[in-house]
Amino acid sequence: MSYNMSVPLPILMYHSVLTDESLSGMYVITPKQLESDIIYLLSRGYNTVSVEQLAAYVERGEELPENPVMLTFDDGCYNNYSYVLPLLEKYEARAVFNIVGEFTDEYSQNGVVNPTYSYMRWTEIYRLYRDPHVEIGNHSYGFHYMVNGRKGAGRKWNEGKDAYKKLFYEDTKLVQDESESITGYKPTVYAYPFGEYTEESEEILHDMGFKASFSCTEGMNHITRDPECLFLLKRWNRPSGISSEEFFKEIGI
């Protein structure tokens, strides 16, 4: 690719992946649907990429593969480990799994393993950090809620800026520190719960050394040599009830 080229990058946002079709919906698809999506993309010459590859392109001038596309999975559902990882390995594809620290800690402590409703434990995440098909992202520690006037990592209307910045920093740092302690690695991408962000949160992510952030705004990304192009990356949510051909035609890829 040309050094000065602006590279189009579609990013897909998945959540739970379950075999029971009756549970499918806006944020749940089946492994069969996911496999169909991967086959569709690969058959049309797309290559799955990681955030680390994007950062290498932006910061060090390394090349990206032709027709890059990114697969992301939010929340750290255990079924991502059960059903998504084997498909990534089968097709030599890459994906970013964005974990919620509070959920990870809860299921690490209670030991529950159920693809339908549980979340990955640190045991699984430790393995995934060492798998070349997976990159782990920070999806907050305890912001995956809409309660008490706060939506996700957003700022409450009556919350002081300094208090908010302190809260966001400490919440983000919990996941970073725990990840580094258990796996030896700190996530370089932050996925905003419900897509809620602020100028202050973006400033903090920059200061903490993050390379990128994910929003929930839908649209095409254009990757340049400017590091800012990796923040608030757009993503298309992938719902059930529509074929791969129809879905990708709808979003224009």
Work out the number of other CB atoms within 10 angstroms of the CB of residue 151.
15
- Please report which confidence band the pLDDT of residue 4 belongs to, taking 50, 70 and 90 as the band edges: low
Domains of the chain from N-terminus onward? 7-245 (3.20.20.370)
- Residue 213 β-bridge partners: 190
Which tens digit of pLDDT belongs to each residue from 229-252?
Answer: 999 999 999 999 999 999 999 999
CA distances from 8 to 67, 135, 141, 202, 220 (A): 8, 21, 31, 23, 7
Maximum Cα interatomic distance, the chain, rounded to a whole number of Å: 51
Average pLDDT, stretch 47-66? 96
Which tens digit of pLDDT belongs to each residue from 111-132?
Answer: 999 999 999 999 999 999 999 9
Tell me how far apart the alpha carbons of residues 188 and 120 are, in angstroms, rounded to a whole number.
19
Average pLDDT, stretch 83-110? 98
Q: What is the 3-state secondary structure (H, E, C) of 197-247?
A: CCHHHHHHHHHCCCCEEECCCCCCEEECCCHHHHCCECCEECCCCCCHHHH
Work out the number of other CB atoms within 10 angstroms of the CB of residue 140.
23
- Given a cut of 50, whether residue 1 has pLDDT beyond it is no
Torsion angle, alpha carbons of 187, 188, 194, 195, to 10: 170
Q: Which residue has the higher pLDDT, 126 or 5?
A: 126
- Please report which confidence band the pLDDT of residue 75 belongs to, taking 50, 70 and 90 as the band edges: very high
- pLDDT for 149 equals 86
Q: Which residue has the higher pLDDT, 148 or 203?
A: 203
Rg, the chain, Cα only = 18
- Please report which confidence band the pLDDT of residue 3 belongs to, taking 50, 70 and 90 as the band edges: very low
